[in-house]
Structure 1
Amino acid sequence: MSDSPAPAGHALFRHRAFVAFWFARIASGFGFQMLSVAVGWQVYAITGRALDLGLIGLAQFIPSVLLALPAGHVADQFERRRIVLFGQIVEFSAIAVLAGVTLAGAVHEATILALVFAIGVAKAFEFPAMQSMLPALVPAPILPRAMAMSASAGQAAMIMGPALGGFLYVAGPGVVYVVAGTLYLVAAGLMAWLRYERTPPRREPATLKTVFAGVHFIRRRPDVLGVISLDLFAVLLGGATALLPIFARDILHTGPWGLGLLRAAPAVGALLMSLWLARHTMQQRVGMIMFASVAGFGLATLVFAVSTTLWLSLAALFALGAFDMVSMVIRGALVQLDTPDDMRGRVSAVNAIFINTSNQLGEFESGLLAAWVGAVPATLIGGIGTLVVVALWMAWFPSLRRREQLQEPA
């Protein structure tokens, strides 16, 4: 990596389209995090059943997986900005309805779940369009910095959004929904204002061949297949954060305040690393940097597993989030730069399936293994498994290991 900032002429915030994109990402990110807190509290207050909290996650997970490939096809056939804008308008509308029925005292669990499902459908179409739109907003050499800056918006929302939502919930869930809806309206306004150049896509009818074209493309590109599958298996095995309540209570002997710190530590590490990456460019040996960062993720998981003091556990989780951000930026930029513009939506959709599946199954795998052998052994197994995956992928994808630059010369 370079230790000096990129030339001022390439500063990200001199690109007006990226500025609008970044602020829209912040507004929608904060809105969604606040919404998530309020929905969880409200549903549990209505029913008192823990199962219903799982139904909230299921209502979002089902459309994110089932609609991913069709959404990727749509992102490659139509103007991506309009797809993102339409998705945000749908999300705003659902939140507005949620605010209305809540303030009117007519809210019901089924209504909430139906509206959450509608938001999940909108997000399923919004995600691949937004991911594949970013390369058109900035020059290719600074795309990694743009992705890091975009990620910083998401991390900031993850850290501060739930706290803000919880604070506003004191005044009632309806107030949270009004504020969240306003933020989504701001995001939609910025997206409507945003302008960028893109060659009009060639329209193709939706067939199995075109819908699954992203899968076929990834199979023919070893580097793209390597980075996407590396993310899948590393996250699948290294899901230590799902076991944080067990570590907080039974191993570190701390209370809810300690659990809150443990949950925040990875996001803080990721946020600070994303800000650093937004000012520095990766100019050589990006393949080895990526593998080293995933290995660092595995080692941080091992340190967390054996730690019995809160400060060391926080440091390990902080490092875990920072290492994950480095590999995430490299993986994301490499996938986008290795993919032609007319395929980016479908490839991003396949990537979304891998990300959603690995996150959900990773938490399930960690919980299942912890129930079988205990939290500490399960986390140790996850950390060791991550290191094994890194070693195998370095052997199986030698071109990725030897990759020098994110954008290979033509």
Structure 2
Amino acid sequence: MTALWRNRDFTALWAGQMVSALGASITSTATPLLVLATTGSAKDAGLVGAAGTLPFLIGNLPAGALVDRWNRHRILLVSELLAALSIITVPLAIWSGRLTVAQLCVVAFVQGMCFAFFDLAERAALPRVVEPEQLATAIANNEARSRGATLAGPPIGGALFAAGRAWPFLVDAVTYLLAAIALLWVRRDLNSENPPREPVLRSAMEGLRWVWRHPLIRTGILLVAASNLTFRALVLVLVVLAGKQGASPATIGVMLGIYSTGGLLGAIAAGRLHKHFQPRTVIIGVNWVWAALLPLFAFAVVPWQLGLIGAVTAFVGPLWNVVIGAYAVTLVPNELLGRVNSAGMALTWGVMPIGSLAAGYLLDGVGPTGAIWTLSAFMLLTAVAGTVSRAVRKAPPLVSSHTPEGAER
């Protein structure tokens, strides 16, 4: 068996996405800063955030069906190139003085749709790239890649924005192009061996039906949806709260970088610890950790305290992702993997537009502190729901790659 890091296809895919994820993290920090600096409206920032996540709600189901029938390598490449073309319009609009919230919404939507297709294609292609025994390790490395990007991206994004509002978006465009070049080194056949032949809509619904037939998977997805809604709203709340505490864009970037440090450390730990935790322990325990930590944000008085509390919340997330992700790629037949992943993502990521909009309205209505208490209460209800769920409490252990059942995030 070839060592994972000697696998050229995996290494090229991983490295290209490391660069691309870094660029996306840079602009995810710069975009709300740009909206707030341009319009001063938290609602506008929430609207742009909602536009960027709307594809997860309306695009994931058909994207999953198409990923299982189209050329996955081509989907990966076209997604990167379209994302580069859309993001380059932002600095052009800034320089011409014609930037509008409507344009930012369109760009964010295109970016989100490209990400939806790319992420589903990459997830479905992974079992075609690495050996079955390496899947959990590969997922852990992908998780570390994502967390590393979100660690480095916010400070860079804040610093670039302080140097010039166009710079973060220019850098992001370059990272998309570099990622597209890296994909040219991936030579393995990534496609499904048994692509679906039925109509796209019927094919997409098959993934949703597969998810709904598994009580543990169904419950896990609903719990993840609740936590995703909470944390999507929380990021904008923290940006506004730090701004009210007097933080500059660069300082806010550092705060978000501290936040992301916990995620990177958690991803590194998850690569070693995922074999020692049962799914019910992860599902119940992670939600209670979040429920206990979220109220602490209301008592933070300086941005670095917000970052440290966020780092602890981010630390436990990768363990969930690795354990549940290993379930998904080993339990689901590969010809269904794109559709099942898309069904899970449509439900768990489809709530993100609601989170972004809710953050904007909460900030305007009750302010940052009131928004934190509202999100804390919602997270507490989520933890209680996970604890009393019979499907979660009766979840079987992850014994091997042939006999697991679990939830997907």
TM bucket (normalised to shorter chain) is 0.7 to 0.9
Q: Which residue is 2:263 aligned to?
A: 270
* Letter paired with 1:212: M
Cα pair distance change 1:368/1:170, threshold 3 Å: closer
Other structure's SS at 2:88 match = helix
1:404 aligns with 2:395: no
Q: Which residue is 2:128 aligned to?
A: 136
Q: Which residue is 2:52 aligned to?
A: 60
Q: Report how far residue 268 of structure 1 moved.
A: 1.3
Other structure's SS at 1:195 match = coil
Q: Which residue is 2:77 aligned to?
A: 85
C-alpha distance in 2 between matches for 1:376 and 1:40: 18
Cα pair distance change 1:233/1:38, threshold 3 Å: closer
Q: Which residue is 1:172 aligned to?
A: 164
Are the aligned partners of 2:144 and 2:267 in contact in 1 as well (CA < 8 Å)? Answer: yes
Q: Report how far residue 322 of structure 1 moved.
A: 1.2
C-alpha distance in 2 between matches for 1:144 and 1:293: 21
Are the aligned partners of 1:297 and 1:324 in contact in 2 as well (CA < 8 Å)? Answer: no
C-alpha distance in 2 between matches for 1:200 and 1:376: 48
Q: Report how far residue 91 of structure 1 moved.
A: 0.8
TM-score with structure 1 setting the length: 0.81
1:8-407 superposed matches below 5 A? 11-103=3-95, 105=96, 107-109=98-100, 110-198=102-190, 199-236=192-229, 243-244=237-238, 255-256=246-247, 263-278=256-271, 280=272, 282-283=274-275, 285-301=277-293, 304=296, 316-362=309-355, 368=362, 371=366, 374=370, 377-378=373-374, 380-393=376-389, 395-400=390-395, 402-405=396-399, 407=401
Cα pair distance change 1:185/1:247, threshold 3 Å: closer
C-alpha distance in 2 between matches for 1:399 and 1:181: 47
Cα pair distance change 1:385/1:52, threshold 3 Å: closer
C-alpha distance in 1 between matches for 2:323 and 2:53: 26
Are the aligned partners of 1:92 and 1:184 in contact in 2 as well (CA < 8 Å)? Answer: yes
C-alpha distance in 1 between matches for 2:49 and 2:240: 21
Q: Which residue is 2:407 aligned to?
A: none
Are the aligned partners of 1:234 and 1:389 in contact in 2 as well (CA < 8 Å)? Answer: no
C-alpha distance in 2 between matches for 1:262 and 1:351: 31
1:362-391 deviations in Å (ceiling 9; x for gaps): 566677599499456535524432331221
* Letter paired with 1:92: A
C-alpha distance in 1 between matches for 2:306 and 2:44: 31
Q: Which moved more, 1:309-318 or 1:152-161?
A: 309-318
Q: Which moved more, 1:210-219 or 1:91-100?
A: 91-100
Q: Report how far residue 345 of structure 1 moved.
A: 1.0
Q: Kindly name which structure, 1 or 2, has the bigger radius of gyration based on alpha carbons.
A: 1
Q: Report how far residue 233 of structure 1 moved.
A: 3.1
Q: Which residue is 1:5 aligned to?
A: none
C-alpha distance in 2 between matches for 1:249 and 1:164: 18
* Letter paired with 2:128: A
Cα pair distance change 1:87/1:225, threshold 3 Å: same
C-alpha distance in 1 between matches for 2:295 and 2:154: 27
C-alpha distance in 2 between matches for 1:246 and 1:177: 21
- Root-mean-square deviation (CA, aligned residues, Å) is 3.5
Are the aligned partners of 2:386 and 2:392 in contact in 1 as well (CA < 8 Å)? Answer: no
Percent identity over the alignment?
23
Cα pair distance change 1:196/1:58, threshold 3 Å: same
C-alpha distance in 2 between matches for 1:140 and 1:221: 23
Q: Report how far residue 203 of structure 1 moved.
A: 4.3
Cα pair distance change 1:399/1:77, threshold 3 Å: farther
Are the aligned partners of 2:295 and 2:373 in contact in 1 as well (CA < 8 Å)? Answer: no
Cα pair distance change 1:156/1:218, threshold 3 Å: same
C-alpha distance in 2 between matches for 1:161 and 1:244: 16
Q: Report how far residue 71 of structure 1 moved.
A: 0.7
Other structure's SS at 1:202 match = coil
C-alpha distance in 2 between matches for 1:65 and 1:336: 22
C-alpha distance in 2 between matches for 1:179 and 1:302: 33
* Letter paired with 1:135: P
Q: Which residue is 1:4 aligned to?
A: none
Q: Report how far residue 276 of structure 1 moved.
A: 2.4
